[in-house]
Amino acid sequence: MLDGKKVAILGDRDGVPGPAIKECIETTGAEVVFTTTECFV
């Protein structure tokens, strides 16, 4: 599902932050093209 895809990450300061998601996605064969950690509130 993710292999070969470009991935944009919208992390959350109070949930799972962007850098943590990035570490995960980089193990899937997808390329992370954008990472941010926003406050959804």
Question: What is the closest distance, in whole angstroms, from the C-beta atom of residue 35 to other proteins in the complex?
Answer: 9
Question: What is the closest distance, in whole angstroms, from the C-beta atom of residue 11 to other proteins in the complex?
Answer: 4
Per-residue binding letters, 1-40, with other proteins (x by CB under 8 A): xxx-xxxxxxxx-xxxxx-xx-xxx-xx-x--xx-xxx-x
Question: What is the closest distance, in whole angstroms, from the C-beta atom of residue 26 to other proteins in the complex?
Answer: 8
Q: Which residues contact 35 (CB under 8 A, 6 or more apart)?
A: 8, 9, 11, 18, 19, 21, 22
Q: Of the candidates 37, 6, 40, 5, which has an alpha carbon nearest to the alpha carbon of residue 21?
A: 37
